[in-house]
Structure 1
Amino acid sequence: MSGNDIVRVKRNPDLPLRFRSDGTFKILQVADMHYANGMMSRCRDVLESEFPYCSDLNTTRFLKRMLEAEKPDFIAFTGDNIFGSSTADAAESLLEAFGPAMESGLPWAAVLGNHDQESTMNREELMSFLSLMDYSVSQVNPSAEVPSSHVKGGMMTDIDGFGNYNLDVYGAPGSHLANSSVLNLFFLDSGDRAVVQGVRTYGWIKESQLGWLRSLSHGFQGQERDVHQSADALRQAKSPALTFFHIPIPETLVSSGDVRAVFMGHDHTNDFCGNLNDIWFCYGGGFGYHGYGKAGWPRRARVILAELGKGDKDWKGVERIKTWKRLDDEKLNKVDEQVLWVHWPSR
């Protein structure tokens, strides 16, 4: 190593993730940044009056504005973080795209979309790089929790994709749940491209990933159980879970028993939340300016707020989950606030 080489140690966030002392935990979802080469990358689908001065730097500015306005506890990036086909160097683009998150010192995590790997890194390299960035809690893949799993470097190797992992959010400090997970955050790799019967299409979440998710949700080490028999009981007993990935999928995750809401990207001009089999599926809406959008339709970000229940003397488990969006307009307008889930104690 030469004398000019500098060794940097990753800066880590304060862990574990936990609710605030006021009983809240706020997540900022950033979908489809599509970051490329900074000020050299022009905006797409903006008003003609905005185009001459619009670039990737508008995406950076929007992220900084959101962090200042909402002051989240955690940031979830749901794929197409960089626009690989427009990106000269993936590492440089990643460092610029996630710069505001790293500067904030907040814990953040990311999954990949279908465009991230189109530059100078493959999907495994991208997730490894993301996991090593300052304040990132991203993981390449889950640790080997299932005895039958093939293991490489302490990670499962019989699970499809890169970027499948879970994060626990603990109860409020000083409460009786301070050392217990009360909210689970699941991250899944929904893939990139695929060819099915000669037709080129997008990827999807594979059975190996859903199997891992179900085993984790059920608290079993790979053992089989009657999913239909246990789902209702699990939904009462388990801590609620939120799931994050890029490409919308038809699977509903009902068999996991604890997933209350799913947050996705991919469709930039879709920011709708819909309920399917008691699970909410919410699109983030397009965040980045170098990705396609719709002129006159502001870029946007989604916020998710989980709130603990209050007992006579102490905080309890999660009681309510709600969401809203903010638009990248002059006032950063807040729109479409809605409650996604409320815990009704069994009688």
Structure 2
Amino acid sequence: MTSPPSPTPPESVIRPRIRPRRLRRTAPLRRLVAETRLSAADLVLPLFVKEGVSAPVPVGSMPGVLQHTRDSLRKAAREAVEAGVGGLMLFAVPATKDPIGRAATDPDGILNVAVADLVAEVGDATIVMADLCLDEFTDHGHCGVLTDDGHVDNDATLDHYARMAVALAEAGAHMVGPSGMMDGQVAAIRAALDAAGHTDVSILAYAAKYASAFYGPFREAVDSSLTGDRKTYQMDPANTAEALREIRLDVAEGADIVMVKPAMAYLDVVRRAAETVEVPVAAYQVSGEYAMIEAAAANGWIERDRAVTETLTCIRRAGASIVLTYWATEVARRLP
């Protein structure tokens, strides 16, 4: 039995002459016309090193992320560099904390010795960056020193940041990342570095860092002692114009790169930053963003690898030329 002939379309149907779908037909075509490309060199891997541990410690809320020993840190750094990752951002967990974070400026403190380890291991092949903040080192968990009534003292904190910047530079850091959102932090750090002869050490400023709910797993990763919140110095998630003001101020004070943090919920800020300044714009895909995707994938709700690549591509598409992500090494290995 033969099938009836297909009905002839009515004369009123106009077949499209312009067909955008032609360029989506095959994978090579889609690759050829892709407007945004993700490269291993765009990615920076955040790493955690913990003082006094004999084996790496898994971070429970961040599957696959470790608090490293100095030895395992060197190994992870080598693997990242071999995969082509563009840089490493180091965070440290000291064995002891105090009200002013003395371990942050101690040349023999865990952050400074770990920076020296990385520079010795891979320093000629990548950019060794270090987080410049006191929150990992203070027993109260805030990003600065406190007044007697418990408030963060902006200007007193700048003195500590200046000393920390010089200590990191003397350990060999190529770039420092001030993340405390203190007013004037970039100017204070630039002046201290220049006065100490470290004019070539660059500054990646956390210029628009929001008081976000997405930092929870990170606090586990650095054994945070935070009491209260950071809303008096980190930015209100409702604000964009304020972010642009902060970004312009940091550039005027000498920032070489500015960063928006978090990334995924703030892509509009990333876009506006890229349109506002001429220095490179970075974005940090933070711990909560990482944990959400890993948890959803573990439950079979999303395709993990596709979701990871999609989010990173979208951050690049928004205007970030550099993306900090805990998936940096993994993604770099599978990029063409």
Normalising by structure 1, we get a TM-score of: 0.41
Whichever structure has more helix as a proportion of its residues is 2
Structure possessing the higher radius of gyration over alpha carbons: 2
Q: TM-score, normalised by structure 2?
A: 0.42
* Structure with the largest fraction of strand: 1
